[in-house]
Amino acid sequence: MKKVAVVMGGYSDEYKVSLKSGQLIYDSIDRDLYEPYKVIILENNWYAEVEGQTYELHKGDFSFDMNEQKITFDVIFNIIHGTPGEDGFLQAYWDILGIPYTGCGHYLSALTFNKKDTLAVLHKYDIPMAKSFYLTKGDDINLDKIVEKVGLPCFVKPNQSGSSLGISKVKTKEDFAKAFELAFAEDNDILIEEFLDGTEVSVGVIQYGGKTFVSGVTEIVSHNEFFDYEAKYHGASEEITPARISDEMMQKVHEVASKVYDTLKMSGMSRSEYIIVDGVPHFIEMNTLPGFSPASILPQQLTHAGISIKDFVSSELEAKVV
């Protein structure tokens, strides 16, 4: 029976969400086909957890010792949100070790985690998106130039961060100072984006049965100024699946989301955000390891699409196990 490491945790503020996601994945693995183990990656502690007992993980080969037996893994189900599991670091490490893992490879993980670089790539393929301005910590800041490019209101966000951490909606020039402080606390590079006034949708795109499949389109109605951390994880939003849009618009969203997924040559799960303005879906960002707790959007979409979590997990693993 193939041994599966369900890898969760991480170094960012998203680690608690990752632990919930990892638990759902762990519970959903087909025990007739696989032998799953929980593996927790924290900044100063990598360990496997078996029946309440913890065992230190050997970083040299990603194994651990239990009852005088060395446990190695045939495949890894990666469900870390943020660094080091969504930005390519662990993927590159597993590539060196030769251990297959779910999701995309280290290059695409690094690319999609970098909002600016993802936008630059997709821009060449005529994917509609908001106007944006890029800053690195220490740059000279010309507010007039920024406002001329993106207008007001606008959003200031870390270039590499998940779960809407460090994002601010800026309405006046006086708001920029606080917004820069919050964003630079999360990352040395920040993105300033035009405010798009439209319908926000979250689109799950997965590889299922060897084909690109749109798992669902969820309308996001935030009770806050925007879909921030509180709205995502503390109930300050409505998530409506399927989105309340026309059949024609639903088809447009499916087409552009599939095009983005295939253009980037993605694999595994993903969830992308779009804002529909004047009948055009505008790409905002892609998450290659989105939240997967029972309350998360992608599991809800899979259920609505008639795909059980168990079948989805098996599909992800089967694609990687030779």
Sign of the dihedral through C-alpha 206, 209, 212, 214: negative
Considering the chain, what percentage of its residues have pLDDT values greater than 70? 95
Q: Is the C-alpha dihedral spanning 293, 119, 264, 202 positive or negative?
A: positive
Give the pLDDT mean for 117-143. Answer: 96
- Cα separation, 85 vs 39, in Å, equals 12
Q: How far apart are the first and last CA of the chain?
A: 13
The sheet that has 237-240: what strands, in order across it?
A: 237-240, 211-222, 199-208, 271-277, 280-287
CA–CA separation, 198 vs 138, rounded Å?
33
Ramachandran quadrant class, 235 (left: phi over 0; alpha: psi -120 to 50; beta: rest):
left
CA–CA separation, 302 vs 297, rounded Å?
9
The whole-angstrom separation of Cα 98 and Cα 319 is 16
Q: What pLDDT sits at residue 13?
A: 84
Going along the chain, which residue ranges are E strands? Answer: 2-9, 34-42, 45-50, 53-56, 64-66, 69-71, 75-78, 132-136, 154-158, 168-170, 189-194, 199-208, 211-222, 237-240, 271-277, 280-287
Average pLDDT over residues 65-76: 97
- pLDDT of 249 over the 70 cut: yes
> What average pLDDT does range 245-267 have in this prediction?
97
Contact 22, 6 (CB under 8 A): yes
Average pLDDT score over the chain: 93
Beta bridge partners of 165: none
Q: How far apart are CA 246 and CA 80, in angstroms?
A: 35
SS3 240: strand
Mean pLDDT of 74-100: 97
Q: What is the pLDDT of residue 223?
A: 75
Q: What is the pLDDT of residue 268?
A: 94
Q: What pLDDT is recorded for position 231?
A: 46
**CA separation for the pair 9, 123 (Å, rounded):** 33
Q: What is the pLDDT of residues 269-308, one digit of tens each?
A: 999 999 999 999 999 999 999 999 988 999 999 999 999 9
Contact predicate 34/317, CB 8 Å? yes
Q: Are 90 and 41 in contact (CB under 8 A)?
A: yes
pLDDT digits (tens, 9 = 90+) for 209-241: 889 999 999 999 977 665 555 545 555 679 999
Amino acid at 314: S
What gap in Å lies between CA 121 and CA 124, rounded to an integer? 6
> What pLDDT is attached to residue 84?
96
Instruction: Tell me the mean pLDDT in the region 190-196.
Output: 96
Q: What percent of the chain has pLDDT over 90?
A: 89
pLDDT, tens digit (0-9, with 9 covering 90-100), for 36-62:
999 999 999 999 999 999 999 999 999
What pLDDT is attached to residue 322?
67
Question: In which band, very low, low, confident or very high, does the pLDDT at 106 lie, cut at 50, 70 and 90?
Answer: very high
Give 129's DSSP letter.
B
What token pair was written down for 126?
A: 């005529």
